[in-house]
Structure 1
């Protein structure tokens, strides 16, 4: 798993490349060592031959043997004054297998000969030729065994490889730490910044702040910051537009109800005998129709938070009568009867306009549900007071809520029960009641009708937000 990361792969590649470089250095080094080894043996052989020449060849066999063993050669030939002279000699244990001339030899040939020596594990007798030291002749040649030469080359090679391994490891670690510090950590910081921003792109505090010292990485961070700023700005703008659309949808829903009532009254104005009224009525009706159409078009927007209620004291019966009067005008002669059970002296403290909207939505939903059955029905509104606050009950004899509406109760755009309905009525009503610290709940719903209950406390204590459940 480690070698799948950028750091691990860089460490592996660094080690391989350093080892490759060490190999490229190792082979010439071994070739140079072999050359120096052979030249040192030729130098010893030259010294031994000069000692013999200094005594005019008067040297016993034992001393000659010691000189050859010291030089690690079998015999020495020294050419002086164009005369080739065998100076020192001893029995050669095997035939001479190869001759190597070290005078002006190219580097590639030294490398080839060194590799050949390493690849032949058995000892061989070779002849080597070189220039005498201090120009003590034209050339010097000697025969020698490759066994000690190969052992010395292997020892030298192992020491070089060991040192190369240490250098490679140290170099790889240093490069790994440097790259991790300069590249990997800044890249990881950018990745963490992207992940953190993705969790909440609308939060401007999560936009990355460029901090890389490397020019390319800093340019990448600045480009990412610019992109995040644009995205956050776009999300905020869309959120504001969504909130505005939600608010417009709610206002349009209730305004459509108001305009529908006004349209009914305007229709009745056509029967007026006043010529001026007759002339103005068609224009008024057309204007209201256009306003109703505009409200219908804006109902595609979502839900927005309502303002806090403005509390005043008023008679509940007056509010209920006002709502019923408008619904009676809208119902006409469709067979819907309204029954109220509210004491004329019952006063309550709430936001008159918001509670008017709540009752209008509940009663209008009930009326439309009864009208959809094409049978007569009844809507009953009752109200009362308890120690904790006030309650208002709205019941009807309609067909009841369908299963889908009960599953999505108080959820906007989900629980419409009639064709063209948006499901906003109960969502708006529930939110307005929650704004008072109260609760709107469905007491029952079946074939014999539905019944809703509004509970309002004496003091507004905002209820915790809960997920909407459906709409009527």
Structure 2
């Protein structure tokens, strides 16, 4: 089964659902990371701003009490503000309001007054990537316009710990959002895309097991436009294929029947040919004159049976090329088709008497007979008079033979598969084999048979026979 093969070739990861789930998680996480970067920078800025505010409150308490703040109280104010020193600038005077000894030198200074987004992001990640505790100086604006600036010194460790805790919570929340989003998208994809695709695959598998069963042709039901188009295209393809398989099966059966009939008919005609040979010795002048034509007709009927058997094997005898007087051949065809005398259908032969071509006489006779017979039947079907014209000529590279009629023209459907066996029948009740054999015989000569025109004024076929192999290449 196709489904089993998919699992063996890579499991869930290589399925459409698996890949969509992985991509969804990846893209949602990427979106969360893009949100995390500015948010962690903003968290750091807010943390430092809060320290500045606490330090400002402590310094205002010191300024309000003047000399009443003892060293112990000053130390408590600094501990509550979580800073070492507080400097206020008021009225252009820089004043160290609260102070205590620094455990180590100041490592870095950050000015929040005019820091842009990229600078805040850079400083935030610099803090996250620095594992050692440092003493940093932070400068900002006092709240409520209580001075020109405020400056503090503090440890970086509490800031880094708070940032790590905040970042961890953000990443955990991002992972949760990604998982929930991917899960619901996974269910949606399963229902809207994967399930219809699996249905199509199952239909393909079932159809492949018995393509001749019309019940297994898929019926389009998908609501997604693209999948609906795919199902409709598959429905049309399977319908056409099923019809073709049924037709091929019937043609195969018909071919077997035709082969048996042709085999038996050939034996009957062979017997008739033996009796016709005896008639040639008759003393009756009329019988003696008609006997050669009767023998020729039976011989051609035998050859036709043999060629039908060969066609069923996809084989056609190679042409035996010899010089042929085309005018005489055309007259024999007209006489063989009953067009030599008066009738509702007349045959006009415009072939130069001196024109000689190199071809297989019997095969060319079959081709012309088929074309003339089709033309006569088309005219007879109209119930009116008409004419058939056989003309010929030559150029430096080829001979051409034209067979035209004044019939009603070929139906559009017949023209689509004109030279295909059992497909291009132009006459009701015809099997469409004559033109296919005719085209094959002409191709055996290195030439081609083509439909020159077919309209309300009649139909015209043209045979092209090359004078040499090089002329046809």
2:264 is aligned with 1:218: no
- Equivalent residues of 1:242, 1:301 under 8 A apart: no
The question of 1:162 aligning with 2:172 is answered yes
Aligned match of 2:33: 23
- Structure possessing the higher radius of gyration over alpha carbons: 1
- For residues 27 and 277 of structure 1, the distance between their equivalents in structure 2, rounded to whole angstroms, comes to 112
Match of 1:146 in 2: 156
Q: 1:283 aligns with which of 277, 286, 293?
A: 293
Q: In 2 relative to 1, CA 201–128 (structure 1 residues): closer, same or farther, beyond 3 Å? A: same
Give the aligned partner of residue 210 of structure 2.
200
The answer on 1:80 being equivalent to 2:90 is yes
Residue matched to 1:44? 54
Shift of 1:247: 1.4
How far 1:146 sits from its partner (Å)? 0.4
Aligned equivalents of 2:276 and 2:106: distance in 1? 131
Q: Which residue of 2 aligns with 1:441?
A: none
Structure 1: 5+ residue runs without aligned partners? 304-472
Q: Which runs of 5+ in 2 are unaligned?
A: 1-9, 314-473
Mapping of 1:306-317 within 5 angstroms?
A: none
* Deviation at residue 178 of structure 1 after TM alignment: 1.9
Q: Which aligned pairs between 1:371-390 and structure 2 lie closer than 5 A?
A: none
Q: CA deviation at 1:144?
A: 0.3
1:182 equivalent to 2:192? Answer yes
From 136, 140, 149, the equivalent of 2:146 is: 136
Q: CA deviation at 1:301?
A: 6.1
Aligned mates of 1:57, 1:50 — CA distance in 2: 13
SS in 2 for 1:23: helix
Q: How many residues align?
A: 303
Does the aligned pair in 2 maintain the 1:248–1:301 contact within 8 Å? no
Shift of 1:92: 0.9
Q: 5 Å matches for 1:333-348? A: none
Distance 1:22 1:57 in 2: 52
Q: How far apart in 2 are the matches of 1:32 and 1:240?
A: 80
Q: Which residue pairs with 1:244 in the alignment?
A: 254
TM-score normalised according to structure 1 size: 0.61
Q: CA RMSD in A?
A: 1.9
- Output the CA distance in 1 between the equivalents of 2:67 and 2:113: 28
Q: Which residue of 1 aligns with 2:105?
A: 95
Cα separation, 2, equivalents of 1:269 and 1:48: 142
**What CA distance in whole angstroms lies between the structure 1 residues aligned with 2:202 and 2:262?**
45
Partner in structure 2 of residue 257 of structure 1: 267
Task: Return 149-158 or 4-13, whichever deviates more.
Answer: 4-13
Alpha-carbon distance between aligned partners in 2 of 1:49 and 1:288, rounded to the nearest angstrom: 131
1:38 and 1:272 map into 2 onto residues whose CA distance is: 132
Q: Deviations over 1:375-426 (max 9, x none)?
A: xxxxxxxxxxxxxxxxxxxxxxxxxxxxxxxxxxxxxxxxxxxxxxxxxxxx
SS of aligned partner of 1:55: helix
1:371 maps to what in 2?
A: none
Output the CA distance in 1 between the equivalents of 2:236 and 2:169: 56
